């Protein structure tokens, strides 16, 4: 039997030693009657470059997938997966466990995320955590504001109901 994507990511989290339970509190349970922080779990939003032929290293497609809701320390969290595929078929994936769609401001996003996991191609996924505090660490290279797709207003693109094409 094939494992679901979210079962697989849970296995990856365990295999790389990331303590997801350290970011959650058993006394806070997800409430089924409350909306998910990012949107309906299972929602998939795909961006495709409108140009047919691109240079090999240009990202041709980005797919956002909203995952299940989890309980966190005082807040509800939801998994967000972003997969990017380049014209040359190379890819990377980022998994984020968030209380809201991550801000373009790195310092704000740092407070919204309980997990940041990166996988390049078929390499093992890596969870970025501080060695002593286990706090989630985000990239500090200056690229953070451009990592995730955003609407023109900087909103959560998962709120959109139509397909979007990158020009």
Lowest mean pLDDT among 3-12, 59-68, 78-87, 98-107: 3-12
pLDDT of 146 over the 90 cut: no
pLDDT of 9 over the 60 cut: no
In a domain, 31, yes or no: no
Average pLDDT on 78-100 reads 95
Asked whether the beta carbons of 110 and 102 are under 8 A apart, the reply is: no
In a domain, 1, yes or no: yes
Sorting pLDDT into bands at 50, 70 and 90, what band is 40?
confident
- Determine the pLDDT at residue 15: 35
Asked whether the beta carbons of 111 and 138 are under 8 A apart, the reply is: no
In a domain, 158, yes or no: no
Sorting pLDDT into bands at 50, 70 and 90, what band is 166?
very low
Average pLDDT on 102-108 reads 92
- Determine the pLDDT at residue 32: 59
Write the secondary structure of 40-64 as one string of H (helix), E (strand) and C (coil): CCCCEEEEEECCCCCCCCCEEEEEE
Average pLDDT on 28-33 reads 52
User: Which range in 119-123, 138-142, 143-147 is most confidently predicted, on average pLDDT?
Assistant: 119-123
In a domain, 46, yes or no: no
Which residues form the domain of 134?
1-25+60-140
In a domain, 34, yes or no: no
State the total domains in the chain: 1
In a domain, 134, yes or no: yes
Average pLDDT on 30-41 reads 76
In a domain, 49, yes or no: no
Integer Cα distance of 97 and 33 in angstroms: 20
Integer Cα distance of 117 and 44 in angstroms: 19
Single pTM value for the model: 0.75
In a domain, 53, yes or no: no
């Amino acid at each position: 039997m094939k494992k679901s994507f979210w079962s697989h990511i849970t296995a990856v989290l365990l295999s790389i030693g990331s303590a997801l339970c350290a970011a959650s509190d058993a006394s806070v349970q997800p409430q089924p009657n409350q909306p998910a922080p990012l949107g309906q779990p299972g929602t998939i939003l795909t961006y495709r470059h409108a140009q047919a032929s691109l240079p090999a290293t240009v990202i041709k497609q980005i797919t956002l997938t909203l995952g299940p809701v989890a309980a966190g320390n005082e807040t509800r969290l939801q998994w967000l997966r972003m997969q990017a595929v380049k014209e040359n078929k190379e890819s990377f994936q980022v998994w984020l466990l968030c209380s809201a769609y991550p801000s373009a401001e790195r310092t704000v996003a740092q407070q919204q995320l309980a997990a940041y996991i990166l996988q390049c191609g078929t390499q093992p996924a890596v969870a970025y955590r501080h060695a002593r505090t286990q706090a989630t660490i985000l990239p500090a290279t200056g690229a953070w504001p451009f990592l995730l797709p955003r609407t023109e207003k900087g909103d959560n693109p998962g709120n959109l109901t139509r397909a979007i094409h990158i020009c």
